[in-house]
Amino acid sequence: MTTQEVRLDAGATMDGDDAATPNRWRQRLPGRRASRPRGRDGRGEAGEPAIAVLDVVIPVHNEEADLARCVLRLRDYLATTFPYTFQITIADNASTDRTLEIANELADRLPEVAVLHLPAKGRGRALRAAWGRSTAPVRAYMDVDLSTDLRALLPLVAPLLSGHSDLAIGTRLARGARVVRGPKREVISRCYNLLVRQTLATGFSDAQCGFKAVRGEVAARLLPLVQDDGWFFDTELLVLAERAGLRIHEVPVDWVDDPDSRVDIVATALADLRGIARLGRALATGRLPVAQLRRELGHQALTWRRADGVGATPEASGVAAGPAPPASPAVPGVPSGLAGQLVRFVTVGIGSTLAYLALFVLLRLVLGPQAANLVALAVTAVANTAANRRLTFGVTGLAGAGRDHLRGLVIFAIGLGLTSGSLALLHAAGSPGRWLELVAVVLANLVATVVRFLLLRAWVFPGHRQPAGEAREPVPRP
């Protein structure tokens, strides 16, 4: 077989002229008159090929062994079960084997298949190019190994077709998902998603599952802002969408790990860490137009109207105004809004204190009292500041988060001085037992808690005091 003629099983041939022009769309561009027909004869009502409603992109790099089998399986599944017109786009990124040749022959044989070739490697680069050029109302992608059960495809795209959601992702970590993979990949996946949630304050459960979809107008607005060309592309896109106030739909999937996966775990993990740091800096410094995106694309926040009519109107909020939520009762001599903040602060404080005590008791098994106190207090102090920032004072997003946590560390130092000082005085008076140490740190923590609340209210979050009786707006997810 020469390079001038390539055959796939018993299919049609592809001549050498077509093979020599990889940097163009083969057969049909996404969104043009291609894809699954409305009628059984492959034509629409007027005899013309139908417009693709869904464009499924399959990014590939050196996948000659699996490409034909997976594309044919996907095409057959969509043709028999998917109720809308579709197109499959093979996005080849810098393959050095026969992947591109096989993709071109598939496009020759199947009117639903198009091919895009990119000279540079990168899954994110391939998705940006394919989604960016598509004109389909909904654009999806899936890994070529089809690790995700295809029965999840319609639940994935249905909320986008209906207009209910803006993006949709398959998740292997939500309740209802069924996953078969080794413990190594399971641990790595869960640790990565936990890191993303903690560092970028995200709400989605699985950033890296290769099974996602996006509405066309959302893709057109977000893709130019996504910088990563590799595996971090998914995470960056989802974080931007969430910060813009877009609705992300999650579908628990059945997922079987591909034992032949050639992903370099170490290199990918390092690239992801660099991506998290870069994206965090961009969000913290305001280099990304999050506020503008929220105005252009985001859903209006749900609001309430007070009983006297003050507050958001149905026209402003997009929903009918409901009854006002119960306001914090006014307490004579207490500053407005303080009572509600105290309730939320105490709730957070109880959880922090229990966590501190558990850590202190466990660490005392291997560390001295001062070291155990330092570690336990440091861990719970960071979590306490984050929780109070969001829950007690209603501050969301990364803007100013670094400053807030820096001031929180100053308050931590004050608490450390109080608790460490109490332990030092206790040991200077004799050799106390563990229970006496525990009583001392609890009392010192109570004093430190009062100091913490006063400083958080007056110094760290001075501009976030919500007067009692005012209409409240639910805090949007960052």
- The pLDDT score that the predictor gives to residue 312 is 40
Average pLDDT, the chain: 78
Strand-pairing partners, residue 114, are 89
Confidence bin at 104 (pLDDT 50/70/90): very high
Amino acid 327: pLDDT = 40
Indicate the pLDDT class of residue 260, thresholds 50, 70 and 90: low
Distances (CA, A) of 400 to 72, 199, 386, 405, 454: 51, 14, 12, 9, 19
Q: Which of 42-51, 186-195, 386-395, 457-466 has the lowest mean pLDDT?
A: 42-51
Contacts of 69 (CB under 8 A, 6+ apart): none
Reply yes or no on whether the pLDDT at 420 is more than 70. yes
User: What is the average pLDDT across 119-128?
Assistant: 95
Segment 1-26 shows an average pLDDT of 34
The residue-averaged pLDDT of 8-18 equals 35
Query: How far is Cα 90 from Cα 87, in angstroms, rounded to an integer?
Result: 10
Which structural domains are found in the chain, ordered by start?
Answer: 16-292 (3.90.550.10), 338-460 (no CATH)
Mean pLDDT calculated for residue range 423-435: 79
pLDDT, average across residues 22-49: 38
Neighbours of 355 (CB within 10 A): 15
Half-sphere exposure of 378 (CA within 13 A, CB side): 7
- pLDDT, tens digit (0-9, with 9 covering 90-100), for 179-230: 998 888 888 889 899 889 888 889 999 999 999 999 999 999 999 999 999 9
Structure tokens, 453: 């609340």
- Residue 140 or 460, more confident: 140
Q: Model's pTM, two decimal places?
A: 0.59
The pLDDT of 280-308, averaged and rounded, is 75
Query: How would you label 335-352 residue by residue, b for 16+ Cβ within 10 Å and e otherwise?
Result: eebbebbbebbeebbeeb
Name the least confident of 230-234, 260-264, 270-274.
260-264
Are 272 and 235 in contact by the 8 Å Cβ rule? The answer is: yes
> Does position 170 have pLDDT exceeding 90, yes or no?
yes
Nearest residue to 130 via CA among 89, 88, 86, 99 = 89
Residue 110 predicted with pLDDT over 90: yes
How many Å apart are CA 412 and CA 452, to the nearest integer? 8
Q: Which of 16-20, 29-33, 62-66, 263-267 has the highest mean pLDDT?
A: 62-66
Residue 261: the pLDDT is 64
Query: How do residues 338-359 score in pLDDT, each as one tens digit?
Result: 666 777 778 887 887 788 888 8
Give 384-389's long-range contacts (Cβ < 8 A, gap of 24+): 384/348, 384/349, 384/352, 384/408, 384/452, 385/411, 385/456, 385/460, 387/348, 387/351, 387/352, 388/344, 388/345, 388/348, 388/456, 388/461, 389/461
What is the average per-residue pLDDT within 265-274?
A: 83
Average pLDDT over residues 10-22: 34
